[in-house]
Structure formats: C-alpha cells, structure tokens
Amino acid sequence: MTPLNTFPVVIVTGMSGSGKSTALNVFEDLGFFCIDGLPSEMSPKIADLVHKNDTKYRGLALGMDLRQNEFVEGWDQALKDFAQIGISPQVVFLEAKKGELVRRYATTRRLHPLESTDLGLEKALEKEKELLAPVRMAAALVLDTTDYSIHDLRRVIQTKWSALEEAGRGMRVHIITFGFKYGVPSEADLVFDLRFLPNPHFDKDLRPLSGLDPAISKFVLDNEVGSGFNERFQDFMSYILPLYAEEGRYRITLALGCTGGRHRSVSVAESLLATLKKKGYSVSIEHRHMELG
C-alpha cells in the first residue's frame, strides 16, 4: 500500500464551464486515477479504497461540482471524513469571468446545472458562485481560465501542480505580477498598486530589460522611495501572513501591479519571494504580463 503522505488526493472543482474536464485530463496524463461526477459523501470512501489497493497510480483526482446533488451541503462532512482516514485532499478550483462562461455555454449549447425556466444562465452563474464560495476558500490552487486556451490550461496546471507538490503542506502564498493596462487578476486576494515607484520604462537603455535583471531591481529599489517602501512592505507581509494562517487559510494570492507588469512589479515581487522563502513559506510566483510589454 502506498504511504498516505506520498499518495495525493486532488479534488477538481469550480464554476461550470471553467475547464474542469480538461483539468482532469491533465491529472490523468500525470498518472492519476481520475473519477468525475462523484458525490461528495462518497469521495472519502473511494479515496480510502483506491489508496489501500493502489499499486501503479501516482494519486487520485476527483471531479466534483454542482451536477451532483447536495455537493455543497456535504462538503464540510466530506472534509471531516477525509481527516478521519488521514487524507488531506488538495482542492484545485477553476473559475472564469461571467461573460466568458456565458460565451462558452452559448458555443456548446449545454444547460447550466442550476438553469431552469425560473433561472436564466447569468443568474444561475451568480448563484453557483455564491454556493461555491466556501469550497473556493478551501482551495490550494485557484485558476482563472478566462484567457486560457486548452493548451494554456494544460501547461499552467502541470506547472502549478508541480510547484504545489514541491512546496509541501501548509498555507501557500502565490504571487502574481501584472500590468494594470492588461487587467487586474480576478483571483487575487490582495492587490498592490506599485505605480508610484521609479519607472525604468523612461530610460531607453533599461526599457528592454525586465524586473528579473539586476539593473532594473537596482533602479526600482535602490533609492529612498523604493527601499523605504520595500522594507515596510515586507514587514507588513511578514506580519499579516501569520494572521491569515491562524484563521485557517489554505492559500493566499497576492497581486502586485505596475503599468505594464514588466519592471516595478516584477522587481518587488522577486524581492518578496526571496524573503518569504527564507521565512519558510510555501511560495510560488507568476509573472503574468511581463512578456507583453
């Protein structure tokens, strides 16, 4: 029997139309035994059974959503049942902007699980988002698939899941850098506007570089404004993250933005990444718009 601590159980869930079937296919390609459409009350029993009898699978991935009756109502009890058998499932939650979900449903011509003669598609999506809020809060990984193709989603899941496996257990911190002119990441829990920092864009020699280059980091942070902010910002994050952990948060996503998401936000994010790693946090980073500038 595979040891519990080396046999991951993943619950793939989220908004209808956000790409859960594709996500399950990715986990299947990663060597997971995958089951879709499983009622929440049955999931701990199935996980225990597969774990005890597994000889070849890397883990178990379960697709769960509102297509199953009483999914949300049985969620808390399912988590308790998992804990009783010594399994801590990792929740991967997929979502997308309402307009994109409406477009996808119009393309496939499928009915939303909550849609009825009394509830149109947009209202059904709003209701689903409200119902799934507690499940989203328990997620180790939240993915906004609005701008992803199938191939993009596959690549992102593979990359981020590998990062989660390497990070181990505990609250995870995910840092996203972005450009305000391209849009604020919808999955962010905290958003920081860094457009007050010195901007290398106006230096023709520095403009082609990114915040990953030492010259840019020095330009942004090695001055009175940049160093003063960075010191206070890291002190603030060091103070607030333990408070989130004490409240039982599984993960937190920080979005750091500047105009184009190439220089200032990347410099600050990389500095924060190094500090949080030294403090022992499970932390990952994504430079979402760095190559668009």
Q: What is the pLDDT of residues 58-78, one digit of tens each?
A: 888 999 887 776 787 888 888
Please give the DSSP secondary-structure letter assigned to residue 47: H
Number of structural domains found in the chain: 2
In a domain, 157, yes or no: yes
Binding residues for GTP: 65-68
Q: Is the same domain home to 137 and 239?
A: no
CB 142 within 8 A of CB 187: yes
- The residue from 169, 204, 221 where one domain ends is 169
Binding residues for ATP: 14-21
CB 135 within 8 A of CB 209: no
pLDDT at 232: 96
In a domain, 160, yes or no: yes
Type of residue found at 8: P
Which domain covers residue 118, as residue numbers? 4-169
| CATH code assigned at 42 | 3.40.50.300
Residue 118 has pLDDT above 50, yes or no: yes
CB 181 within 8 A of CB 241: no
Rounded average pLDDT over 89-102: 90
Place of tokens 């379960």: 62
Q: Is the same domain home to 54 and 124?
A: yes
Taking each helix axis from N to C end, the angle separating 224-246 and 264-278, rounded to the nearest 10 degrees, works out to 50
Tens of pLDDT, residues 208-230: 999 999 999 999 999 999 999 99
Has this prediction a pTM greater than 0.85?
Answer: no
CB 275 within 8 A of CB 234: yes
Binding residues: 14-21, 65-68
pLDDT at 157: 81
